[in-house]
Amino acid sequence: MKSQYKLTIFYGKFIDIPSLKAGFRIRSSCAIGVNSESGSIVFIQENFHDDLLKLASNWDPNLKHDEVKIVDCNNNNNNNSYAFLFPGFVDTHIHASQYPNNGLFGKMSLLEWLNEYTFPLENKLKDLNIAKIVYSKVIERTLSHGTTTAAYYATIHLESTKLLANLCSEYNQRSFIGKICMNQNSPAYYVEPSTDTSINLTKKFIEHINSINNPKINAIITPRFAPSCDKDLLCNLGKLAKQYELPIQTHLSENLNELEWVHDLFPEYANYTEVYNQNGLLNEKTILAHCIYLNDLELNTIKSKNSGIAHCPISNSCLSSGLCSVRKFLNKGIKVGLGTDTSAGYTTSILEVARHAHMVSRQLASVEGNDDCKISVTECLYLATLGGAYVMGLQDQVGSFEVNKQFDCQLINLTVEGSKIDLFPWDKETEKLEKWFFNGDDRNVQAVWVGGQECGIRSKSYL
Ligand SMILES: Nc1nc2[nH]cnc2c(=O)[nH]1
Ligand SMILES: [Zn+2]
């Protein structure tokens, strides 16, 4: 539907983190103009206290007043309130199909959990009615937590994976969607019978994404992980990614038993990373989840291919997979983002994942006796936004507020009714933001926009 507006001007306090070490960039009384057709930012004017329509005329002198929409999020009139606009979160690793199992993992670790909890659930989603319920809920829930971009795993089923893509398009959530590929070492009821089947279904899925013709909705090549794909499938998926110039997502080095298994299954490769590398699956658009046990050689390979890592600290804790040193990745200049890894991770909130990343980094610092392990609040929030954008190859489009970037944004209100955050008159501005980091949740997310278009978010009864 074509908007009656040609320009939307968002006005308020804009906060983002433009680089890992930059800290909070706070732009107050700031007007950001968004081209309604393209969804991209056309101007940014901070400390602006004049008539906003003047900015519209500067941008296009022919614009009529009723072609300009003003979204005023400024709250300077009221000393007791505090709200700001922040880049939408980027979830670089989430299993949409596993959402009903969030919080269900018992005492299990990865390989038994896959067999007991995960494969039976994923298999249920071949039923399109079930898939519709699950996928609608996970999109609604992630949007309500401020996730504007997500890299989703679906299941091995073509039709329900197509449905996930359609729903992301309808809900207006920027997404990479992967039909899972797996042709070995999986239960008979949940496995693809051959490489050909897996490749053909993936091609059909790519065609479907092309038919949606929505630049926010993308296909991603998704070998589940090395143990569930034979060499032939891995190699053909590498070729497919190259042929269609598509991103790739998979799991790497998450659990010690998994590592041993990969070593037994693929003895001809020097290490786990080489299994992917030598089959054409590592490039600048590859998202590697976990990467807990990589050695220096493997990290160097990932760096040289400019692949990115999805750090999933909640999942790593839930399945007792291990403590992952993010600082090691950052020191090597490897791209890092955050992933909920629903449902190995119990939440769909990237803010909660960012908090846990912070906590795990402190545990590592004490285990290793090295304070350099600690990642700061703003570093964690960078990973949750622009860091994730880099991992997904979207760094020129999302993750921070810059002219020509897409307007993917969440309105955070710390003083909304029901908020868990108590502010005091002596709180400094950055302290308010740190309080949000530790005690904020979806109650503070008042609105979400992707490409300048507002997304519906669930049950905001107090608004
Ligand atoms: N956390 C996690 N690891 C995996 N490794 C292979 N499949 C999965 C999965 O679904 N979740
Ligand atoms: Zn995962």
Element (H, E) at 259: helix 256-265
- The full length of the chain comes to 463
Q: Identify the bridge partners of residue 87 per DSSP, sorted by sequence position.
A: 409
DSSP at 21: T
Quick one: which atom of ligand 1 is closest to the CA of 254? Answer: 3
Ligand number, closest to the Cα atom of 114: 1
Query: What is the distance in A from the centroid of ligand 1 to the CA of 381?
Result: 24
Query: What is the distance in A from the centroid of ligand 1 to the CA of 404?
Result: 36
Quick one: which atom of ligand 1 is closest to the CA of 225? Answer: 6
User: What pLDDT is stored for residue 78 in this prediction?
Assistant: 65
User: What pLDDT is stored for residue 72 in this prediction?
Assistant: 94
What are the tokens at 272? 């786990």
In percent, how much of the chain has pLDDT > 90? 96
Query: What is the distance in A from the centroid of ligand 1 to the CA of 137?
Result: 21
DSSP for 31-86, please give it: EEEEETTT-BEEEEE-S--S-HHHHHHHH-TT--GGGEEEEE---TT-TT--EEEE
**Quick check: 314 and 323 in contact, CB under 8 A?**
no
Question: What is the C-alpha separation between 435 and 285, in angstroms, rounded?
Answer: 34
Quick one: which atom of ligand 1 is closest to the CA of 321? Answer: 1
- ipTM value greater than 0.95: yes
User: What pLDDT is stored for residue 461 in this prediction?
Assistant: 34
What are the tens digits of pLDDT across the range 278-310?
999 999 999 999 999 999 999 999 999 999 999
CA dihedral for 252, 98, 172, 169, sign (positive or negative): positive
CA dihedral for 197, 154, 216, 337, sign (positive or negative): negative
Q: What Rg value do the Cα atoms of the chain yield, rounded?
A: 22
Q: Which residue has tokens 């732009």?
A: 27
Q: Which residue has tokens 């955070």?
A: 412
Question: What is the C-alpha separation between 142 and 357, in angstroms, rounded?
Answer: 18
What are the tens digits of pLDDT across the range 8-18?
999 999 999 99
User: What pLDDT is stored for residue 362 in this prediction?
Assistant: 98
User: What pLDDT is stored for residue 293 in this prediction?
Assistant: 98
Evaluate: CB of 8 within 6 angstroms of ligand 1.
no
User: What pLDDT is stored for residue 459 in this prediction?
Assistant: 46
Query: What is the distance in A from the centroid of ligand 2 to the CA of 239?
Result: 23
> 3-state class of 378 per DSSP?
helix
Mean pLDDT of residues grouped by 10 in the chain (463 residues)? 86 98 97 98 97 97 96 75 96 98 95 97 98 98 98 98 98 98 98 98 98 98 98 98 98 98 98 98 98 98 98 98 98 98 98 98 97 97 98 98 98 94 95 98 97 79 32
